[in-house]
Chain A
Amino acid sequence: MNILVIAEHNNQQLSSATYNTITAALQLGSTDIHLLVAGHECAPVAQQAVKINGVSTVLVADFSAYQHFLAENIAPLIRDIAQTHYSHILAPASTNGKDVLPRAAALLDIEPISEITSIISANTFTRPIYAGNAIATVTTNAPIIAMTVRGTAFDSALTSEENVATIETISIQHDKQLSSFVNEALSLADRPDLGSAKVVISGGRGMQNGENFALLEKIADKLDAAIGASRAAVDAGYVANDLQVGQTGKIVAPDLYIAVGISGAIQHLAGMKDSKIIVAINKDEEAPIFQIADYGLVGDLFEILPEIEQRL
């Protein structure tokens, strides 16, 4: 059983979700895991990739048209590679993975499976549906199994000091010229990554404005936490879109999740209810968030947050 894992990276660094996806590949029972690093001037990524335990080969496709991971160019590359001898293609269930993997599946005429959360056998998986209000067990008989993997559901693969994998250069080049990169506005990564942070502190509409998120930041500094938000807080422009936690935002499962001024709509819960410990701070004691919170504190967040900061 040969498994192809699609690495996610920014041409400098592998994303943490890639390591979780490799653990999923290992759980499938494969001893031959190949990691595809498609990008441009992405040698540093390949250097990280060869140190991941369980990976036997790192396939490096270094080509200018792969720089921004445009689906139109990457999908045919995946198709060409996967057609040779792979049973599974796995990608992180990130925006990149979700953009590219279904398109590659289309080119292979197979039905992909989105965001699996556990592996029952080599062709049977679970995945949440209806905003996590139900868990479906799905089986596939596709000739190649293509799926995206929820990072928080799998541990991170371990790495070695030494190189454990060999590098193979892929010379397939697709430049379909259907799309081109214009620009990007990246959030400054001065905090731990939302998807892998041990502590996440999120603010909702109750924060009232973006400036007040400073109250959360002060606490996050002390706890080395990532900052998250509800959709309402993002829609209102308090914080950037990439902080949205939920069914249609990011999925987090930290050791500690602190929800501040968030009511607890099912769409929000879908993104955080697998956290180990949940704390809710809300002035409305009837707020649904309290039904899933291990520790609920009823009160005004503007009084509570400074006090927490002080006592930490």
Chain B
Amino acid sequence: MKILVAVKRVVDYNVKVRVNADNSGIDLANTKMSINPFCEIAVEEALRLKEKGLADEVIVVSIGSRKCEEQLRYAMALGADRGILLETDSTPSSLYCAKLLSKMVEKENPGLIILGKQSIDSDNNQTGQILAGLCGIAQGTFASELTIEGGQAIVTREVDSGLQTLSLTLPAVITTDLRLNEPRYAKLPQIMKAKKKPLETLSAETLVAPFAPQVTTQRVDAPTQRKAGSKVANVEELINKLKNEAKVIS
């Protein structure tokens, strides 16, 4: 079984982002970029399935500019077998990404497709679900546990009310939640070795004819700042203020 993993290049989660001067987006100049943390968890899960003998190849795909090669190389340093860059200079919509990924699913015929549950930049949480819908296959979103048994994926999902376990027919799309695993780190020799692993670049536009995005960003604003608060000296003062100043307890 092949596993296809979608990895996205995003601003590193430690960076405090700022809205740019003309309110068109985020100031990304000289910002540290990384693999989306949920995608890192997706890569890790695929590698573990391979190490258990449940998969024989892990393919990582990224959609975006040539710079996404860095994230693909990183995923290969962790252990992915090969990478595919679907190159585009535009910012691809979720629907376009999902259509591109569905072409990859057609071409590579994976048993599992693993995505992050959410990009930490756009905070969309939708690409995996759209992909599963386009392919007409099962989806296991927000996964915190995954096993493969008798041709089915058994997936435990983190849902608002607790945990839910589903059994999915393969091929299926899985989207990862934080507690699915703890990703490994890449070691130097692996980083060197990854440079020799195959990385194919395809033109996104050739694969799926681009279409005008339906959803466009008009502007981006900084959120309203909370006014600076104050420190209280002790519990007595705290309770007094909550009762008489803020009036949130009685």
Contact = CB atoms under 8 A, between A and B. Distances in A.
Contact of A297 (B94, B166, B179, B235): B235
Given A199-B248, A250-B160, A312 B221 contact: no
A280 to B, nearest CB: 8
Contacts of A285: 231
Interface residues of B, number: 79
Given A96-B160, A134-B19, A311-B235, A129 B123 contact: yes
A64 interface: no
Interface size class of A (residues with CB under 8 A): 35 or more
Given A129-B123, A178-B172, A308-B235, 20 more contacts: A10-B161, A70-B166, A71-B141, A95-B158, A99-B139, A103-B132, A105-B130, A111-B215, A113-B215, A114-B123, A133-B223, A134-B26, A134-B223, A140-B215, A179-B140, A241-B177, A242-B159, A247-B120, A279-B238, A292-B229
Nearest to B123: A129
Contacts of A279: 238, 242
A199 B163 CA distance: 24
Contacts of A132: 223
Contact of B169 (A141, A178, A183): A178
B223 A296 contact: no
Interface of A: 10, 68, 70-72, 75, 94-96, 98-107, 109-115, 124, 127-142, 177-187, 189, 195, 199, 223, 231, 234-235, 240-242, 247-248, 250, 255-256, 266-267, 273, 276-279, 285, 290-298, 304, 307-308, 311-312
Contact of B248 (A140, A273, A277, A311): A277
A169 to B, nearest CB: 26
B160 A178 contact: no
Given A142-B214, A178-B137, A241-B179, A185 B130 contact: no
A179 B179 contact: no
A122 to B, nearest CB: 14
Q: Which 8 A-B pairs have the closest CB atoms?
A: A106-B133, A102-B126, A102-B129, A103-B133, A178-B138, A294-B229, A182-B165, A106-B130
